[in-house]
Amino acid sequence: MAVRLVEIPKVGGTRNLGIPTVADRIAQMAVVRVLEPVIDPVFHEDSYAYRPGRSAHQAVETARKRCWQFNWVLDLDVSKFFDTIDHELLMKAIKRHTSERWVLLYIERWLKVPYETKEGTCIERNQGVPQGSVIGPILANLFMHYAFDEWMRRKQGHIVFERYADDAICHCRTKAEAERLQAAIVERMAECKLALNERKTKIVYCKDDLRRGSWENVQFDFLGFTFRARRSKNRWGKHFINFSPAMSNRARKKISEEIRSWKLHLRSDKTLEDLAHMFNAKLQGYIGYFSKFYKSKMYPLFQQLNLRLAHWVERKFKRVRRHKTRAIRLLGRMCRQNPNLFAHWRFGVRPAMI
């Protein structure tokens, strides 16, 4: 049956998600369970997306260590990757790992099934894998395995990289090596009917205390973290400049917008416990992901959240209305009485820090 087309906002435009029917999602999971044990062992050790036992944190951690070892990074991004995967090349890759006729039959049907918009219009498809489908991740990973990972192993075996879906970080010893690699990858992507996003693809100099000189790009984003020179402290308490990741400004802005959308100051009908119950899961998710590296980058974000909670206190209790300082003090007393109520209080950002 047709795949329901849903557009979700993203930076610089929208992303198309294809939502299959429930019956198709169940069938796709059956195919994934057949393919995954066969395909996953073949994947490159530095491929981290959509794989059991692999995570974005592992990719970021590996990239951090290698940025200390290599002076230059080629930051790659494939343009409209999920929407431009070639069906013929993808089916060729799938047939290398299975000869099950029913698996091949259904995958080919899922690739060709049209999109259906909310107005009921059908859009024919002759390329791409729907994001939002159960089987999409493993198919996309298999395509990039042959388009990029395996090619890098054969042709550029001296260069290490980390790849998460269509985002890849390649580590080079010199600027000239990074430029040669970029030119070679552009040709390789063209062979696989893909193209690099020229705006997002760039060569970066991993500048720190020991690396002198300058270059126009001295930072890059990878999986929600910005890698750049940062002030750090070693185990002896001495400060130094270190090239490392922390929550990106884009991620911080997105979380800040999400927190503003909660409109805490208008929820005076709720108790503080109600608010914690409503939003702790999201707060814990942010903390669990972004506090892994340079967690102090999150402190200003949660201090702003405490101010919003203080605004809620000011509207909730008449005795502190139009008295911001008193509202903050009252929130501080509430925090001392129940310091584990909010996830960011447990994280260590409490009203007393305002």
Q: What is the CATH number of the domain that holds 37?
A: 3.30.70.270
pLDDT confidence tier of residue 15, bands split at 50, 70 and 90: confident
Average pLDDT of the segment spanning 84-112: 95
Q: Give residue-wise pLDDT tens across range 129-167.
A: 988 899 999 999 999 999 999 999 999 999 999 999 999
**CA-CA distance, 81 to 140, in Å (whole number)?**
9
pTM score, whole prediction: 0.90
Average pLDDT, the chain: 92
Q: Are residues 121 and 29 in the same domain?
A: yes
**CA-CA distance, 105 to 98, in Å (whole number)?**
12
β-strands 225-233, 220-222 pairing = antiparallel
Q: Considering 198, 216, 245, which residue would you say is the last residue of a domain?
A: 245
In a domain, 353, yes or no: no
In a domain, 32, yes or no: yes
Average pLDDT of the segment spanning 213-239: 87
In a domain, 237, yes or no: yes
Q: Considering 225, 245, 265, which residue would you say is the last residue of a domain?
A: 245
pLDDT confidence tier of residue 13, bands split at 50, 70 and 90: low
Q: Are residues 112 and 182 in the same domain?
A: yes
Token pair for 107: 């995958």
Q: Sign (positive/negative) of CA torsion 98, 100, 101, 106?
A: negative
Lay out the sheet containing 225-233: strands in order across. Answer: 220-222, 225-233, 239-247
**CA-CA distance, 144 to 90, in Å (whole number)?**
10
Q: Are residues 116 and 255 in the same domain?
A: no
In a domain, 263, yes or no: yes
In a domain, 307, yes or no: yes
Q: Are residues 61 and 188 in the same domain?
A: yes
Q: Are residues 91 and 67 in the same domain?
A: yes
**CA-CA distance, 91 to 83, in Å (whole number)?**
16
pLDDT at res. 11: 64
Q: Are residues 155 and 81 in the same domain?
A: yes
In a domain, 256, yes or no: yes
In a domain, 354, yes or no: no
Q: Give residue-wise pLDDT tens across range 243-263.
A: 999 999 999 999 999 999 999
Q: Are residues 229 and 254 in the same domain?
A: no
**CA-CA distance, 253 to 217, in Å (whole number)?**
22
Q: Are residues 159 and 218 in the same domain?
A: yes
Domain of 312, in residue numbers? 248-347
pLDDT greater than 60 at residue 353:
no
Q: Are residues 267 and 235 in the same domain?
A: no
Q: Are residues 232 and 295 in the same domain?
A: no
Q: Considering 210, 229, 245, which residue would you say is the last residue of a domain?
A: 245
Q: Are residues 143 and 232 in the same domain?
A: yes
Q: Are residues 229 and 184 in the same domain?
A: yes
Q: Which of 128-132, 233-237, 327-331 has the lowest mean pLDDT?
A: 233-237
In the chain, what percentage of residues exceed pLDDT 90? 76
**CA-CA distance, 37 to 52, in Å (whole number)?**
10
Q: Give residue-wise pLDDT tens across range 253-306.
A: 999 999 999 999 899 999 999 999 999 999 999 999 999 999 999 999 999 999
pLDDT at res. 12: 62
In a domain, 352, yes or no: no
Split into its structural domains, the chain has a count of 2
Average pLDDT of the segment spanning 91-118: 92
Residue 343's contacts (CB-CB under 8 Å, 6 or more residues apart) are: 280, 283, 284, 287
